[in-house]
Amino acid sequence: MIRTALRFIGRVIQPSLMRRLVLAQMAVVAALWTLIVGLLFYDSYKDPELLRFSKIYESVAAIAINLADDPKRQYDTLHAFDLALLETASDGNAESDTSPMLQVWQRGKLIYRTTDAVPEIVNSVPDLIETVHVGGREWRARTLHSPQFDTRVMIAEPGIWRLVVNITYRGYYLLPLLVSLPFLVVPAWLTVRLALRPWRRVSRETSERGPADLTPLSYRPPHRELQPLVQSINTLLQRVRDSTTRERSLIADAAHELRTPLAAMRVNVEALKAQSIDSGQRELMGNLLRSNDRATRLVGQLLQLMRSDAVSDAALPVALSLDALVQDRLAMIEGVAHARGVELELACAGEVPVLGERESLVSMVDNLVDNAIKYSPRRTVVKVQVAREQGHAVLRVADQGPGIPPGLRERVFDRFFRSPGQTQSGSGLGLAIVKSVVDKHGGTVVLETGAGGRGLLAVVRLPLAVEGQEQPMLEGRT
């Protein structure tokens, strides 16, 4: 539970482009919302719209003047007009703190007011919107004067409640935004995710590649933001591919050049040893011959590694029987195993066809069996099994040697790496050659603990060959 919580916290605090883009979109929305609120505040403290409509004042004055001879009809008509004004400008309740006030004077007498709860409001300057304080409240008021019957019309709005009025009666500008703001996160995340699909496609193609695949990316994004990235990746892959090719050529050329002097050295040392009668000299020459064998083996493994890495159109894969190939190689290696006091045991379950390069597969089998023989104690058995399993050709080679610690079973496939504490001589190239051949044939190789918890078990899985099957080789890889 704690580990899950720590992983969640780690994902939350880890920088994320997706999160940054979503937050940027939400920040834009929040900025727009802040701007609208700011405009609303500004509108709340400027001159009220109701007080700027002179036609309202003129209409009220006309009613008061035309019905001056009939006070009751005059009052009723002004009251009806006031109710209409209240309905359009507030909640229709004259006693509400947000309602505007209408007061009308004629011949110096107050003939109508919206409510008796509000004292008379008098402007100091006619036809000018002013802030006045009456009844303990702040009002924004304007008074228009008509010379007929000395009629004055005053309309006032509560200044402190102007923002409430705007929010109440102009809330349709803000309400959709306020309601949808929490739900905008999902559309924002979805739009960003859709926009980043080309980026994920480039990332997916890059992550699916093996370490030996240095071919250019097949995806060519049309987006100008991604094009420089893909071009840079392809340029880097080309440089690495060129460098690897030059390295392989150098190693292959050096190995080829070393074979001749090593062979000549061996011939000369063997001749000197045959002619020498001094036991000390013969022992020294025997050491030279053993060193020559090690150097010759290393050169041979280097050449095998270069051939297993290279892909040539001339070396097309062919259908062959893996069980027959393994049987032939064991027959060739039987002498080496006998000399070391090790017995080879082969178990085959019928014909196991594969499609591949014979020389590469020979190198794979030789190195696996040779390693098993080298590290096996005397009077033990190296068991080799070839079988079909779930559409794969499976080769197992098990020994009873010291094995390899689980933490090093991936590293031993690296070139020139040897498990610490090994007493046998070696170059650290045998399993690297096996890995290269298996990868080129589209298979897998894993190292496991042998039967009874002793020794090492190497398991190779290759695709089975079927009639009419295309080449499974990883063409174009370096």
Contact of 313 with 350, CB cutoff 8 Å: no
Which residues, in sequence order, are CB contacts of 276 under 8 Å at separation 6+? 282, 285
Distance CA 87, CA 72 (A): 23
* Residue 254 within any structural domain of the chain: yes
* Residue 184 within any structural domain of the chain: yes
Tell whether 36 and 75 lie within a shared domain: no
Contact of 54 with 129, CB cutoff 8 Å: no
Provide the 3-class DSSP secondary structure of residue 179: helix
Q: Largest Cα–Cα distance in the chain?
A: 157
Tell whether 34 and 182 lie within a shared domain: yes
Each residue of 60-73: b (16+ CB within 10 Å) or e? Answer: bbebbeebeeeeee
* Residue 86 within any structural domain of the chain: yes
Tell whether 387 and 422 lie within a shared domain: yes
pLDDT at 314: 44
* Last residue within a domain, chosen from 288, 307, 326: 307
pLDDT at 386: 94
Chunk the chain into consecutive blocks of 10 residues (it has 478) and report each block's average pLDDT, rounded to whole numbers. Answer: 69 65 76 73 64 89 92 93 80 65 92 89 87 84 91 84 53 62 73 80 82 80 82 88 76 68 79 82 82 74 66 62 91 87 89 87 88 89 91 91 86 76 66 85 90 88 73 41
Tell whether 295 and 414 lie within a shared domain: no
- CATH number, domain of 53, equals 3.30.450
Which residues, in sequence order, are CB contacts of 248 under 8 Å at separation 6+? 306, 309, 310
* Last residue within a domain, chosen from 307, 341, 356: 307
* Residue 201 within any structural domain of the chain: no
Distance CA 291, CA 307 (A): 24
Distance CA 158, CA 161 (A): 6
Tell whether 298 and 445 lie within a shared domain: no
pLDDT at 313: 40
Range(s) of the domain holding residue 360: 315-463
* Last residue within a domain, chosen from 307, 331, 362: 307
- CATH number, domain of 352, equals 3.30.565.10
Tell whether 327 and 454 lie within a shared domain: yes
Q: Which alpha helices (DSSP H) does 151-226 contain, by range?
A: 162-169, 175-180, 185-195, 197-207
- CATH number, domain of 234, equals 1.10.287
CA distances from 144 to 63, 89, 124, 139 (A): 14, 19, 12, 16
Contact of 372 with 450, CB cutoff 8 Å: no
Strand partners, 17: none
Tell whether 272 and 319 lie within a shared domain: no
Tokens of 248: 């392989």
Total domains in the fold of the chain: 4
* Residue 206 within any structural domain of the chain: no
* Residue 149 within any structural domain of the chain: yes
Tell whether 242 and 231 lie within a shared domain: yes
Tell whether 82 and 130 lie within a shared domain: yes
Tokens of 437: 């051949």
Distance CA 12, CA 330 (A): 57
* Residue 92 within any structural domain of the chain: yes
Contact of 438 with 444, CB cutoff 8 Å: yes
* Residue 210 within any structural domain of the chain: no
Tokens of 453: 């918890």
Tell whether 22 and 118 lie within a shared domain: no
CA dihedral 54, 56, 61, 66 (to 10 degrees): 130
Contact of 403 with 458, CB cutoff 8 Å: no
pLDDT at 45: 58
Tell whether 148 and 240 lie within a shared domain: no
Tell whether 422 and 328 lie within a shared domain: yes
